[in-house]
């Protein structure tokens, strides 16, 4: 069968092995890694609902722009405080130790919060809760940096997709458990959180694979980590993901404000936009596995920006709240596909000994870009109008797509960021370990 030049550019035609996200659960260490993740995230979601119900809900009323600012502050705190050091810690210390000790820390933190809730010391409880959110960033980075040690490179997108899908499910389960237990147990429902973190700690203790970090890999100095970003794939992935996230932040915030003004007499604009974002992200998580196997990364990236530009412009033309909400679903869907593919690119191309710091810089860049996009929308929407801001976002997406089309992204491994010909971080001790750990 012959292929046109356009098809060869866009589609993958190599006979790569199909990887299903659920087929990865055959690996014992994958089950233990994601099992501990699910237990910990169920407990986290439950704790968030419990703490919010006791400390924050009575103070969260206000217009949509106020709620957006609250979201920015709540997201920025752990990101700015723990984000820069999370990568260093996951490279400097054993990631297994970080994961296990982190869960133990959260057990003691939950015990302390339970005591403070009974003593009605809300100020101290909020401070400790914020500390727990910072610890979550450290654990997240250590866990993401560990994934590449329990799966092979071509399985990374499926593994990341599985992890994100389970995160969404865990959040719903944890919140539901918290709502039910709060009604019957009150503050004592924190005991469910303690049980979840303790079980997650035991589950992660049983992982047999070498997860990297500390003495489990060679130490790399900071100048070598900075050199990593000379690697064209790493640079391209960070730029593309951060740029789209910046635009999406502006789209999401402006949509919330615009829907709020169109839906006069209702107060559901903020919740509707957040729900659409979550729904689109979940759909993107489900489709990323297929997208990665059938599309080349660069055409996928350019198409993501182009489609974002076109449909954002269309929603502005109709100026209807349902078109705006549908656009949020679409852009969230596109970003999630892009993000899961670039996650895998960063993981598979990170220099040995610098995987944690490389991924932390990438994670910090696109999350900060999202917050900057929200602040951009909040700053200009009241002066120039929501339609103008959304039109600007559409134009930025068009420019971004053109720029990324022209920017070089090597399809072959570029060792420009690796001195002495060092390959990416693939530990020989873990090669083939998955096959040994598959249950018969």
**DSSP single-letter state for residue 155:** G
- For residue 430, name the pLDDT band (cuts at 50, 70, 90): very low
Look up residue 62 and give its two tokens: 């206000």
Instruction: Return the domain boundaries, the chain.
Output: 22-216, 226-421
- Asked whether this chain's domains 22-216 and 226-421 adopt the same fold, the reply is yes
**Cα–Cα distance between 4 and 204 in angstroms, integer?**
49
**Cα–Cα distance between 292 and 97 in angstroms, integer?**
32
pLDDT in tens, 48-105: 888 777 765 545 455 666 666 666 776 677 888 788 888 888 888 888 999 999 999 9
Q: Report the mean per-residue pLDDT for the chain.
A: 80
Determine the Cα angle at 250 with ends 249 and 255, to 5°. 100
Say what the pLDDT of residue 206 is.
92
Say what the pLDDT of residue 63 is.
61
**Cα–Cα distance between 57 and 40 in angstroms, integer?**
24
What is the mean predicted confidence (pLDDT) over 395-422? Answer: 66
- For residue 424, name the pLDDT band (cuts at 50, 70, 90): very low
Which position has the token pair 């035609």? 13
pLDDT at 245 over 90: yes
pLDDT at 108 over 80: yes
pLDDT at 248 over 70: yes
Cβ count within 10 A of residue 414 = 17
**Cα–Cα distance between 17 and 10 in angstroms, integer?**
19
Burial class (CB in 10 A: 0-12, 13-18, 19+), 162: buried
Domain spanning 22-216: CATH 3.90.79.10: no
- From the list 304, 318, 310, 319, the residue with the least C-alpha distance to 254 is 319
Which position has the token pair 């006791």? 54
CATH fold of 226-421: Growth Hormone; Chain: A; (1.20.1250)
């Amino acid at each position: 069968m012959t292929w046109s030049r356009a098809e060869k550019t866009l589609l993958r035609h190599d006979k790569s092995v199909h990887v299903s996200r659920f087929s990865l659960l055959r690996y014992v260490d994958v089950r233990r890694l994601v099992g501990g993740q699910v237990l910990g995230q169920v407990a986290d979601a439950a704790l968030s609902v419990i703490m919010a119900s006791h400390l924050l809900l009575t103070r969260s009323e206000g217009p949509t722009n106020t709620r957006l600012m609250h979201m920015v502050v709540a997201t920025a705190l752990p990101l700015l405080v723990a984000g820069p050091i999370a990568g260093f810690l996951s490279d400097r210390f054993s990631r297994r130790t970080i994961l296990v000790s982190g869960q133990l820390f959260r057990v003691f933190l939950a015990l302390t919060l339970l005591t403070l809730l009974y003593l009605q010391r809300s100020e101290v409880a909020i401070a400790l809760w914020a500390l727990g959110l910072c610890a979550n960033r450290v654990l997240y980075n250590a866990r993401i940096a560990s994934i590449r040690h329990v799966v092979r490179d071509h399985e990374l997108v499926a593994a990341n997709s599985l992890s994100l899908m389970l995160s969404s499910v865990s959040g719903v389960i944890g919140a539901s458990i918290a709502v039910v237990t709060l009604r019957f147990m009150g503050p004592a429902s924190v005991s469910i959180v303690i049980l979840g973190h303790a079980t997650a700690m035991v589950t992660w203790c049983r992982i047999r694979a070498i997860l990297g970090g500390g003495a489990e890999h060679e130490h790399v100095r900071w100048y070598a980590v900075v050199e990593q970003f000379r690697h064209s794939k790493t640079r391209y992935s960070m730029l593309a993901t951060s740029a789209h996230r910046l635009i999406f932040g502006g789209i999401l915030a402006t949509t919330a404000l615009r829907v709020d003004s169109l839906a006069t007499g209702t107060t559901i604009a903020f919740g509707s936009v957040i729900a659409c974002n979550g729904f689109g992200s979940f759909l993107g998580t489900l489709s990323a596995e297929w997208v990665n196997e059938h599309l080349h990364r660069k055409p996928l990236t350019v198409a993501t920006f182009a489609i974002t530009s076109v449909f954002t412009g269309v929603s502005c033309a109709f100026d209807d709240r349902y078109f705006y909400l549908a656009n949020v679903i679409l852009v969230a869907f596109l970003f999630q596909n892009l993000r899961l593919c670039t996650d895998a690119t960063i993981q598979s191309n990170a220099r040995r000994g610098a995987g944690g710091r490389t991924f932390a810089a990438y994670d910090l860049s696109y999350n900060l870009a999202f917050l900057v996009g929200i602040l951009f929308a909040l700053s200009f929407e009241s002066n120039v109008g929501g339609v103008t801001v959304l039109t600007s976002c559409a134009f930025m997406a068009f420019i971004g797509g053109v720029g990324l089309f022209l920017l070089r992204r090597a399809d072959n491994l570029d060792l420009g960021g690796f001195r002495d010909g060092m390959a990416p971080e693939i530990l020989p001790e873990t090669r083939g370990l998955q096959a040994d750990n598959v249950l018969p």
